[in-house]
Amino acid sequence: MRTKIDLNLTTLDKLAVLIHGPYAGGKTHLQGDFLRWGKERGKIAFVNIKGEDGYASIAAMGLGMVAETVESLADFTALVAEYSKAPFAAVAFDSLPALEELVVIDKVGSLRYPDPKLDGERAKMLWGQIKLALKACVIASRTTGKVVLWVASHDKADIAGSSKTAPNLIGKSSGDSIGWFDFVGELQADTKGATNVVRTVSFAPSTGVATRQRVAKTITEKIVIPDGGGGWAAIWKAIENAIPAQEKK
């Protein structure tokens, strides 16, 4: 199939975003804020992937019965197929490392990473299957909503020979996963005092942090995430402002 592409237009009709950050840094809370924003625009959904189970932090946001847990790769695949029939305004997936665990269980038979000592030559094949299946799941998830927001814990990873802070995934998937999204940002939580935590998200290009932004005008400023909400609205505004006016529909 050959499809014409208009390179003079950039729209926000479909968008997939990944935010990675430290444990207990506010990633799931940001997803709740994202869903409140999405609720004003249409249907919303929160997908908790078994093993993550951190949705208590958004239980008091007035989102209602919009969440469900998937416990296997088959569950996830069925959910994506169902949601894609009538895409939502906003879908939040929590989280990418938890999905990777479901993929490992499906391909290996248990939550055990392939080991050449135990699996022999089959280990290499299993690693390939895990990486390809994880990528396929994320790409498929993009069809579930106009805007899709994934989150991930992060860690140091070797990406193209350099050490970077990146999504906490196995091997090369840490770096490769950046290409599965339109925007990848790092959430930082800086404790200023006993009751004061300043949270920011950065999409800016960095030698030490894995980020991405598919816009012509680079977002360089750190985006402040207020405690009381409005963090996703600030992120969305920054993304909109990064699209030149003549390119907006």
Asked whether residue 237 is domain-assigned, the answer is yes
Percentage of the chain surpassing pLDDT 70? 94
Asked whether residue 24 is domain-assigned, the answer is yes
Q: How many CB atoms lie within 10 A of CB 65?
A: 5
Asked whether residue 25 is domain-assigned, the answer is yes
Number of structural domains in the chain:
1
Asked whether residue 7 is domain-assigned, the answer is no
Asked whether residue 5 is domain-assigned, the answer is no
Arithmetic mean of pLDDT, 48-60: 90
- Tell me, what's the pLDDT at 21? 97
The answer to whether the pTM exceeds 0.85 is: yes
Distance between CA atoms of residues 54 and 93, nearest Å: 11
Query: CATH number, domain at 213?
Result: 3.40.50.300
Give the domain extent around 174: 15-241
Asked whether residue 77 is domain-assigned, the answer is yes
- Tell me, what's the pLDDT at 57? 85
Q: How many CB atoms lie within 10 A of CB 168?
A: 19
Distance between CA atoms of residues 35 and 86, nearest Å: 17
155 sits in which H/E element: strand 145-159
pLDDT in tens, 180-204: 999 999 999 988 766 788 999 999 9
Asked whether residue 234 is domain-assigned, the answer is yes
Interior angle at CA 49, CA 47 and CA 51, nearest 5 = 150
Asked whether residue 246 is domain-assigned, the answer is no
pLDDT in tens, 15-30: 999 999 999 899 999 9
In 3D, which of 100, 182, 85 has the Cα closest to residue 143? 85
Reported as half-sphere exposure (CB side, CA atoms, 13 A), residue 127 has a value of 15
pLDDT in tens, 154-184: 999 998 889 999 999 998 999 999 999 999 9
pLDDT in tens, 57-92: 898 899 999 999 999 999 999 999 999 999 999 999
